[in-house]
């Protein structure tokens, strides 16, 4: 928690957002390859998983990766459930997840993830059967990324007869996914002694502009256009693969922010990107609010986060 507190302080001082990997610049002066985001069901393109702590050998760089996870929310009761149509709060059912991610060339990538709800009756229209993401994501500081992610209520087998007050299901609604333009940059050398507990630790940062072409408005129970947000965050990591991260969000038009849209997200845990390893993470993507903003009932508490255990393989 001391690490997370330091990271939050760094963000408040104006450091930027999202995660990318940084090797010990004092030792090597180079940066390792980034393993693209494994955040599947609850994150956004602005929330990336912990990076590889060391430069992988050429034979370790794989184009196709599989990740299997068990994700368990700390809260499995339905109180405070918020959502409508294609978008809403995270599921309150444990899920089994499987993601395939492919890097065809350079930093271009595409991925798809599938979900099995262990409490099937608690899956809501906005809780997905599958999610998908693609784009260009260069981990180097001083570079831009452009990523699309769709984490809404995608359906493998859409129902053609929705219940009362429900919109017809569709396999996906592409225009309700999110585009995210990001810029990564290094922690200035002068700030390293102030922000790091040990010279071998790292703090990776970036800033993102996010756009959802069409989004669900809970008050009017209709869809509206062009929800915009900006995100600013950092990830603190250690050579032993422990990490903590915080991402802060700003909505230029506060009327666009829905109860499930967070003011900030956070996570911590142990993440090893090497194939055949196990990672354990806590993440909270619920409707967290700053102290000056009112929190929607049943949203934005630590128990609205989840713990995941995952295993990966690569070819």
The proportion of the chain whose per-residue pLDDT surpasses 70, expressed as a percent, equals: 77
pLDDT bucket at 161, cuts 50 / 70 / 90: low
The proportion of the chain whose per-residue pLDDT surpasses 90, expressed as a percent, equals: 50
Task: Please report the pLDDT score of residue 294 as a whole number.
Answer: 86
As a residue count, the chain comes to: 315
Q: Which residue has the higher pLDDT, 197 or 311?
A: 311
Residue 12 has pLDDT above 60, yes or no: no
As beta bridge partners, residue 224 has 215
pLDDT bucket at 93, cuts 50 / 70 / 90: very high
Residue 29 has pLDDT above 80, yes or no: no
Q: Which residue has the higher pLDDT, 126 or 160?
A: 126
Q: Which residue has the higher pLDDT, 197 or 172?
A: 172
Task: Please report the pLDDT score of residue 147 as a whole number.
Answer: 96
Instruction: For residue 282, give every residue at least 6 positions away whose Cβ sits within 8 Å of its Cβ, in sequence order, or none.
Output: 267, 268, 269, 305, 306, 307
Residue 171 has pLDDT above 80, yes or no: yes
Average pLDDT, the chain: 81
Residue 4 has pLDDT above 70, yes or no: no
Mean pLDDT of all residues in 133-155:
92
Structure tokens at 56: 């992988």
pLDDT tens readout for residues 240-254: 999 999 999 999 999
Q: Quote the pTM value.
A: 0.81
Task: Please report the pLDDT score of residue 239 as a whole number.
Answer: 92
Burial class (CB in 10 A: 0-12, 13-18, 19+), 16: buried
Q: Which residue has the higher pLDDT, 202 or 6?
A: 202
Task: Please report the pLDDT score of residue 80 as a whole number.
Answer: 61
Query: What stretches of the chain adopt beta strand conformation (E)?
Result: 64-73, 83-84, 87-88, 95-105, 108-117, 130-137, 143-150, 178-185, 202-217, 222-237, 242-250, 264-270, 278-284, 306-314
Please tell me the distance from the alpha carbon of residue 206 to that of residue 175, in angstroms, as a whole number: 25
Candidates 1, 24, 299, 6; CA nearest to 186 is 24
Structure tokens at 59: 């034979």
Residue 288 has pLDDT above 70, yes or no: yes
Across 20-34, 64-78, 151-165, 201-215, least confident range: 20-34
pLDDT bucket at 169, cuts 50 / 70 / 90: confident
Residue 173 has pLDDT above 80, yes or no: yes
Within a 10 A sphere around the Cβ of 193, how many other Cβ atoms? Answer: 8
Mean pLDDT of all residues in 206-233:
93
Across 37-41, 230-234, 270-274, 297-301, least confident range: 37-41
Residue bearing tokens 């009327």? 255
Please tell me the distance from the alpha carbon of residue 301 to that of residue 287, in angstroms, as a whole number: 8
pLDDT tens readout for residues 33-46: 333 333 333 344 44
Sorted by where each begins, the domain ranges of the chain are 2-159+170-314
Please tell me the distance from the alpha carbon of residue 177 to that of residue 212, in angstroms, as a whole number: 6
Task: Please report the pLDDT score of residue 220 as a whole number.
Answer: 87
pLDDT tens readout for residues 94-134: 999 999 999 998 889 999 999 999 999 999 999 999 999 99
pLDDT tens readout for residues 51-78: 444 445 444 557 899 999 999 999 877 6
């Amino acid at each position: 928690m001391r690490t997370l507190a330091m990271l939050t302080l760094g963000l408040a001082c104006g450091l930027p957002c999202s995660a990318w990997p940084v090797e010990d610049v004092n030792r090597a002066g180079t940066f390792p390859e980034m393993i693209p985001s494994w955040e599947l069901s609850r994150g956004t393109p602005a929330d990336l998983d912990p990076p590889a702590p060391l430069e992988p050998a050429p034979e370790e760089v794989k184009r196709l990766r599989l990740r299997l996870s068990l994700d368990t929310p700390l809260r499995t009761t339905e109180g405070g459930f918020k959502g409508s149509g294609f978008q809403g709060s995270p599921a309150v059912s444990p899920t089994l997840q499987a993601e395939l991610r492919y890097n065809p060339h350079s930093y271009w990538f595409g991925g798809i993830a599938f979900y099995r709800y262990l409490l099937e009756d608690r899956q809501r229209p906005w809780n997905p059967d599958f999610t998908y993401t693609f784009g260009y994501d260069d981990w180097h500081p001083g570079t831009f990324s452009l990523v699309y992610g769709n984490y809404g209520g995608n359906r493998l087998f859409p129902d053609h007869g929705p219940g009362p007050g429900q919109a017809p299901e569709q396999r996906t609604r592409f225009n309700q996914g999110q585009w995210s333009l990001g810029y990564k940059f290094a922690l200035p050398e002068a700030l390293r002694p102030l922000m790091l507990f040990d010279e071998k630790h790292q703090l990776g940062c970036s800033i993102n502009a996010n756009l959802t072409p069409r989004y669900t408005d809970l008050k009017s129970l209709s869809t509206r256009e062009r929800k915009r947000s900006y995100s600013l965050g950092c990830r603190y990591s250690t050579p032993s693969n422990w990490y903590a991260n915080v991402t802060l969000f700003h909505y230029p038009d506060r009327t666009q922010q829905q109860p499930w849209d967070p003011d900030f997200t956070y996570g911590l845990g142990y993440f090893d990107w090497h194939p055949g390893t196990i990672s354990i993470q806590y993440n909270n993507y619920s409707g967290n609010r700053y102290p000056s903003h009112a929190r929607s009932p049943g949203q934005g508490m630590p128990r609205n986060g989840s713990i995941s255990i995952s295993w990966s393989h690569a070819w």
